[in-house]
């Protein structure tokens, strides 16, 4: 066996949901660089098209698709029209940063609809397709917030824990059918979702100092984990949560004791 070939995705078709920006955009290019043909799906037509154009500009094969993951019919139609499907990556999330007691019912529902319901709809449609084929890999983005929380993150954290638990259930249910399901837990990553923090230097610096590496991640630093989980390199990995958090969840507190 040539172990370099374990990461080769040539001949595979990948669907990246949330490919229009941030982590999803980087993942789409990364999957293409390892040989996959990529469908770049996003809620906005222009960003989906831009992501596909970026992949093609790197010499890859890509097409664009518009999908609102909160809409069951749109998700089902997208998966059904895929010419082939081997890898599904889903990244979309939204957040409302407020104390739990101050979050309105409408705000709660909005976060639940995208982060939990939306990802459930993608899991269900794609999971059925892969199960029927008897092969495939599902990679969904959870978060360090599935493990640890802070004030203002209650609903977001609940959805990320929920995504992880659904992935674990899928791993158990679809394993006998040859389908793997795993989650990735980023730490703090510079994306549109975290722009609010980046615009406040003290908050941004505090988050950087919390990780063992003392900095934020870039979207490109999430790509390696996805390639691993999408490829045969992880052929015996399912139901896992891969932490890509710069040591955030390993380090206790921000104070360095005088040892």
Which residues form the catalytic set? Answer: 156
CA distance 53 to 85: 20
CA gyration radius for the chain? 18
d(CA 95, CA 159): 10
| H/E stretch holding 172 | helix 154-174
Euclidean distance between CA atoms 148 and 129, whole angstroms: 33
| C-beta of residue 1 within 8 angstroms of C-beta of residue 27 | no
Residue 164, burial from CB neighbour count under 10 angstroms (0-12, 13-18, 19+): buried
- The residues, any chain, with a CB within 8 Å of residue 192's CB and separated by 6 or more, are 21, 22
């Amino acid at each position: 066996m040539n172990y370099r070939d374990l990461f080769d995705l040539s001949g595979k078709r990948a669907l990246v949901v949330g490919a229009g920006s941030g982590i999803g955009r980087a993942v789409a290019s990364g999957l293409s660089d390892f040989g996959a043909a990529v469908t770049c799906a996003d809620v906005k037509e222009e960003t989906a098209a831009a992501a596909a154009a970026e992949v093609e500009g790197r010499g890859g094969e890509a097409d664009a698709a518009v999908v609102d993951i909160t809409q069951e019919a749109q998700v089902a139609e997208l998966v059904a029209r895929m010419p082939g499907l081997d890898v599904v990556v889903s990244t979309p999330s939204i957040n409302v940063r407020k104390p739990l007691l101050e979050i309105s019912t409408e705000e709660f529902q909005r976060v639940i609809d995208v982060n939990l319901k939306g990802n459930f709809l993608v899991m269900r449609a794609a999971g059925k397709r892969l199960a029927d084929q008897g092969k495939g890999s599902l990679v969904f983005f959870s978060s360090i917030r599935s493990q640890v929380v802070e004030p203002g993150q209650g609903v977001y954290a609940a959805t990320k824990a929920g995504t992880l638990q659904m992935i674990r259930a899928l791993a158990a249910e679809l394993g006998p059918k040859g389908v793997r399901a795993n989650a990735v837990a980023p730490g703090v990553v510079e994306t549109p979702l975290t722009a609010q923090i980046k615009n406040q230097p003290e908050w941004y610096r505090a988050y950087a100092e919390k990780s063992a590496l003392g900095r934020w991640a870039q979207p490109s630093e999430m790509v390696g984990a996805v390639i691993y989980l999408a490829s045969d390199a992880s052929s015996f990995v399912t139901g896992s949560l891969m932490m890509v958090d710069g040591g955030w969840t390993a380090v206790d507190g921000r104070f360095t004791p005088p040892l």
